[in-house]
Amino acid sequence: MSTIRVSDDVKERLRDLKRDDESFDDLLDRLSRQDTDVDEIAGCLAFADDDGDLLDRMDDAHDELSDSLDGHVGR
């Protein structure tokens, strides 16, 4: 077992990320194992829907959200 020194600010940020059922050791283990290669993740979506339906649905959802936000902002 080792001790890692962190500032109070860092400890607070880690505490905010920590799940209720996690120890700090569990949190650091989880964070250090996460895949963060966004390009790789995004690349797999290109093959998820060969007929383009997924992209069409994403575009429709984007347009819907934009219209909804415009309606709220315009009040």
pLDDT in tens, 20-75: 999 999 999 888 876 656 666 666 666 555 666 777 888 888 888 888 887 665 54
**Going by C-beta distance under 8 Å and a sequence separation of 6 or more, which residues neighbour residue 41?**
35
Cα Rg of the chain (Å, integer): 20
**Going by C-beta distance under 8 Å and a sequence separation of 6 or more, which residues neighbour residue 19?**
26, 27
| DSSP states of 20-58 | TT--HHHHHHHHHH----HHHHHHHHTTT-TTSHHHHHH
pTM attached to this predicted model = 0.45
Three-state SS for 32?
helix
